[in-house]
Amino acid sequence: MILVSSLPIVAVFIWFRAAKYELSLVQFLFALLAGAAAFFPALIMQSVLLISSITQGRMALLYEFFIRIAFTEELSRLLLLFIFFWVSNRINPDETAGSHLTFNTIKKATAVGLIAGLGFSILESARYAASDMALSIILLRFFTAALHGACGARIGAAAALFRKSPMQALLKIVTATAIHGIYNFMVTIPGIPSLAAILIAVSAIITSILPLKGGWSRAEQHPSAIDKTAEN
């Protein structure tokens, strides 16, 4: 299960190396570590927000899938990415979102978020592997990893946008939580809805990586270009 969840991050690593993106191996590994570390705050928040198993009904399901699971995981990723960018900005101010927010910066933050999301998924898969090794679950983890990467990319952009464009950042956080919550809800229903969940994961990861096409070394540097990325 862990191996299956690791396939997307291997593909992203090969892609970034082949495209010669301006992201060093150290940055790649630390972004992966930040995503994996986000698993633990999310686990704590989910334990705190756990409601009685007796509670039933539509609102209870919405709370479980969208708030307790999706929102806590996206919030945890956001917090760890804030730390990642803060440390990176201390090492090299030109590499992270700071006072000079550019299209280049947002693309790099999106890439870091993508890596962090996939790192989160690997650690989450380890947790599932300890309790359930059904073939259907193992296969589903591949698409869940893609879903985490897609949401992580949006959260990475949100972390970079937060200071200068808080409304755009909030929109990306809400979008990531909504996609995550819908996916969680769909995979619990057998049959066609599960296939729909897979389509959601695939479409989400495609729309997340399209802004990264072509890298960022020659990206536009004008701040107004931020709006182009925020729309995705």
pTM of the full structure: 0.86
Taking the C-alpha atoms of residue 76 and residue 61, their distance in angstroms, rounded to an integer, is: 21
**What is the distance in angstroms between the CA of the first residue and the CA of the last residue of the chain?**
31
Q: What percent of the chain has pLDDT over 70?
A: 80
Residues 6 or more apart whose Cβ sits within 8 Å of residue 215: 19, 20, 21, 22, 107
Does the pLDDT at position 136 exceed 50? yes
Q: Which two tokens stand for residue 53?
A: 């198993």
pLDDT tens-digit map of 14-40: 999 888 888 889 999 999 999 999 999
Looking at residue 60, what is its pLDDT?
84
The stretch 215-227 carries a mean pLDDT of: 48
3-state secondary structure of 168: helix
The model's confidence at residue 216, banded by pLDDT at 50, 70 and 90, is low
Looking at residue 103, what is its pLDDT?
67
Q: Identify the weakest region by mean pLDDT among 136-140, 173-177, 217-221.
A: 217-221
The model's confidence at residue 189, banded by pLDDT at 50, 70 and 90, is confident
Taking the C-alpha atoms of residue 45 and residue 135, their distance in angstroms, rounded to an integer, is: 29
Query: Which helix (H) or strand (E) covers residue 6, if one does?
Result: helix 2-19
Looking at residue 2, what is its pLDDT?
79
Phi (first) and psi of residue 214, to 5 degrees:
90, 0
The model's confidence at residue 1, banded by pLDDT at 50, 70 and 90, is confident
Does the pLDDT at position 184 exceed 50? yes
Read off the amino acid at residue 201: A
pLDDT tens-digit map of 81-130: 999 999 988 887 654 444 556 667 889 999 999 999 999 999 998 887 76
Taking the C-alpha atoms of residue 135 and residue 128, their distance in angstroms, rounded to an integer, is: 12
pLDDT tens-digit map of 50-83: 875 545 677 888 899 999 999 999 999 999 999 9
Please answer whether residues 186 and 197 qualify as being in contact, where contact means their C-beta atoms are separated by less than 8 angstroms: yes
Please answer whether residues 124 and 39 qualify as being in contact, where contact means their C-beta atoms are separated by less than 8 angstroms: yes
Does the pLDDT at position 9 exceed 90? yes
